[in-house]
Amino acid sequence: MSIQHAPVLTCTQLSWRHQGATILEGVDLQVRAGESLALVGPNGSGKSTLIKLLCGVLAASAGEVRLFGQPLSDYLRRDIAQRIAVVEQHSETLDAISVRDAVELGRTPWLSALAPWSAEDDRQVEQALQAVDLTHLSKRRWHSLSGGERQRAQIGRAMAQQPQILLLDEPTNHLDIQHQLSILGLVQRLPVTTVIALHDLNQALTCDRVAVLDKGRLIALGAPEEVLVPELLLQTFGVHAHYLVDPEDGTRLLRFRPAG
Ligand SMILES: Nc1ncnc2c1ncn2[C@@H]1O[C@H](COP(=O)(O)OP(=O)(O)O)[C@@H](O)[C@H]1O
Ligand SMILES: [Mg+2]
């Protein structure tokens, strides 16, 4: 984690309404420079909606998001893309293109008539392909990839974007266990601020802080083990939980049992 603690992203009373329904309500949240913040909550609690609001894909119905102190709505899309990369839960299909083409898209916000594609862009793309273990598949067509390979390509695209902030919506969802661990380790080691929606609460324990959403409201925010306590897990997720200690290295892990 960085020694800086200036908020890079701030939500103030952030709400999103859609067709008369309140999907997100009054979220106050400061994302700190360099931290990894896990976003957890049951299905439909608003994690994906919050991520879309944080990067301007959705506009707030009330309240605001600030990026480095400026309202997000004041930024041009390209200026946001130079600072924030997003890997969405359901990524668009890019049927006709190769893995390398998909990762090259990450360079788009940095290109212009005055800054055409250069050797530095090639270097960034190759580094990103290597980081997500896709160098050997770089010529493969998108439609021929497995769900996990697509997920890794999207993460590679986001890394090639060289953002200061990386927003990831359930990035480990389609991945085998080896790639889950390598992707999580990778994004936590990157010198960037990360907000990661996660279902696996044991993976959330490895982040710097955890934010819990329930029915569109932020109900807890803080150090993982202070937030993910048995009472909250029962109330919010409807499961009994307790901590176990790994005899190998003393790491504390959550174990769950069905309630009732
Ligand atoms: N575009 C939309 N239209 C209607 N309802 C939506 C839309 N986007 C999200 N929702 C609803 O908002 C709630 C929160 O959704 P979402 O943010 O996807 O939750 P999560 O990612 O935590 O599962 C859900 O009840 C979902 O059905
Ligand atoms: Mg979601």
pLDDT at 240: 98
Residues 134, 183 contacting (CB under 8 angstroms) = no
Cα–Cα distance, 131 to 214 (Å, whole number): 34
Best probe residue, ligand 1, of 16, 17, 22, 23 (max atoms within 8 Å of C-beta): 23
Ligand 1 atom nearest residue 45's Cα: 22
Distance of CA 168 to the CA centre of its chain: 2
pLDDT at 148: 85
pLDDT at 187: 87
Residue 177 Cα, ligand 2 centroid: separation in angstroms?
20
CA-nearest residue for atom 5, ligand 1, is 18
**Mean pLDDT score, 21-36:** 97
Residue 236 Cα, ligand 1 centroid: separation in angstroms?
17
Cα–Cα distance, 197 to 204 (Å, whole number): 9
**Mean pLDDT score, 214-221:** 98
Give the pLDDT band of residue 1 (cuts 50, 70, 90): very low
> Which ligand is closest in space to the CA of residue 17?
1
Residue with tokens 């999207």: 154
User: Does residue 2 have a pLDDT over 50?
Assistant: no
Superfamily of domain 1-83+163-224: P-loop containing nucleotide triphosphate hydrolases (3.40.50.300)
> What are 122-146's pLDDT values in tens digits?
999 999 999 999 999 999 998 898 8
> Which ligand is closest in space to the CA of residue 212?
1
CA-nearest residue for atom 3, ligand 1, is 18
Residues 187, 131 contacting (CB under 8 angstroms) = no
Domain boundaries, the chain: 1-83+163-224, 95-161
Cα–Cα distance, 86 to 47 (Å, whole number): 13
User: Does residue 189 have a pLDDT over 90?
Assistant: no
Residues 139, 99 contacting (CB under 8 angstroms) = yes
Structure tokens at 151: 């997920």
Structure tokens at 205: 């324990």
pTM exceeds 0.85, yes or no: yes
> Which ligand is closest in space to the CA of residue 216?
1
Residue 147 Cα, ligand 1 centroid: separation in angstroms?
22
Ligand 1 atom nearest residue 216's Cα: 14
Angstrom distances, CA of residue 117 to CA of 3, 81, 110, 112, 161: 34, 17, 9, 8, 13
User: Does residue 203 have a pLDDT over 70?
Assistant: yes
Q: Residues lining ligand 1, judged by CB closer than 6 Å?
A: 18, 23, 41, 43-49
- Give the β-pairing of 239-245 and 252-258: antiparallel
Q: Whole-number mean pLDDT of the chain?
A: 93
Per-chain residues with Cβ under 5 A from ion ligand 2: 47-48, 89
Percent of the chain with pLDDT over 90: 83
Write the secondary structure of the chain as one string of H (helix), E (strand) and C (coil).
CCCCCCEEEEEEEEEEEECCEEEEEEEEEEEECCCEEEEECCCCCCHHHHHHHHCCCCCCCEEEEEECCEEHHHCCHHHHHCCEEEECCCCCCCCCCEHHHHHHHHHHHHCCCCCCCCHHHHHHHHHHHHHCCCHHHCCCEHHHCCHHHHHHHHHHHHHHCCCCEEEEECCCCCCCHHHHHHHHHHHHHCCCEEEEECCCHHHHCCCCEEEEEECCEEEEEECHHHHCCHHHHHHHHCEEEEEEECCCCCCEEEEEEECC
Ligand 1 atom nearest residue 23's Cα: 12
Exposed/middle/buried for residue 112 (C-beta within 10 Å: 0-12, 13-18, 19+): exposed
> Which ligand is closest in space to the CA of residue 214?
1
